Amino acid sequence: MASSIRLRSRLRDGVCTVRAILRHPMETGFRNNMETGELVPAHFIKLVTVKHNDVVVLHCDWSRAVSKNPYLSFMFEGAKAGDKLELSWLDTKGESDSLVTTIE
Amino acid sequence: MMRRRDTLKLISSGATLIFTGLLFPVRVLAKWNEAAFAATDYQEALTTYFPNQQMTESDQITIGVRQEIENGSVVPIKIVTELPDVESIAIFVEKNPTPLIANFDLTPACKGFVSTRIKVELPSDIIAVVKSDGKLFYTKTYIIVHEGGCA
């Protein structure tokens, strides 16, 4: 299966801009199923960690109110071409995914 | 032979090392704050997430968000701050069923910037809380939403 993570980075003047899109339903637990009328249980990403060369640069704690298929962008200094960038997430069901990419 | 003073110095520097080693992972791996994320009242969410801390309004934080939103299920938002030594950026939506939306723990390498997309249920204040140099600063902006996004 394709990764749930799309991770892009852009290096300019020593600043690395990271942009990511994670494929996830981000169910709030407030929504009713259109056909059965039953509440769809909450199911959302709680934790996201981004590492640069195995060192954490950003850590996120999220709620159910981050939109479906979450988007995340941030910037950090000290990266160079060829460095390793890794994003991982963990959701309320204990499911997780991670992806490693190279900064270009 | 080692004098007593040197031994003490050694022990204390070792202790410092151990403590810095312990403290850093604790901050990075800080536990997801169940109570604050479950809080249904803005003030309760705020004081649970930042217990016993004063907040100062700051013009050095900018919330980039459209003032009027058709569909509240996808509201692009970015927080930019010029404050020094930013440790974290938190986003609250006052009128949402659970007002604490997200927190971002930044490291010293990070610029004072995060961007994401959030759900907004009702016309509401959006509050960005920045921890800078150990102190809390905030700014807020009111947005209008025509179709709630929390279902």
Domain span including residue A58: 5-102
Q: What is the mean pLDDT of residues B88-95?
A: 98
Looking at the structure of chain A, the number of domains it has is 1
At residue B19, the pLDDT reads: 47
Average pLDDT of every residue of chain A: 95
Q: What is the pLDDT of residue B9?
A: 53
**What's the CA dihedral at A30, A35, A37, A43 to 10 degrees?**
-30
Residues B115, A77: C-beta atoms closer than 8 Å: no
Inter-chain residue contact A63 with B93, CB threshold 8 Å: no
Choose from A61, A89, A103 for mutation: most chain B CBs within 10 A: A61
Q: For domain B33-147, is the CATH number 2.60.40.650?
A: no
Interval A27-64: pLDDT, tens: 999 988 888 989 999 999 999 999 999 999 999 999 99
Report the CATH number at residue A79. Answer: 2.60.40.10
- Domain boundaries, given as residue ranges, for chain B: 1-30, 33-147
Interface-testing mutation among A19, A67, A80, with chain B (most B C-beta atoms within 10 A)? A67
**Rounded Cα–Cα distance for residues B134 and B87 (Å):** 8
pLDDT digits (tens, 9 = 90+) for B108-137: 999 999 999 999 999 999 999 999 999 999
Q: Is B33 left (phi over 0), alpha (psi -120 to 50) or beta?
A: beta
**Residue A49 in 3-state DSSP?**
strand
Mutation site, B50, B107, B130, interface A, largest A CB count within 10 A: B107
Q: Burial letters for B8-36: b for 16+ Cβ neighbours within 10 Å, e otherwise? A: eeeeeeeeeeeeeeeeeeeeeeeeebeeb
The answer to whether the Cβ–Cβ distance between B109 and A57 falls below 8 Å is yes
Cβ-Cβ contacts under 8 Å, A66 against chain B: 101-102, 116-119
pLDDT in the model for residue B3: 56
Q: Do the Cβ atoms of A57 and B78 come within 8 Å? A: no
Binary contact (A71, B116; C-beta < 8 A): yes
Give B6-57 pLDDT, tens digit per residue.
554 544 554 444 444 444 444 445 589 999 999 999 999 999 999 989 999 9
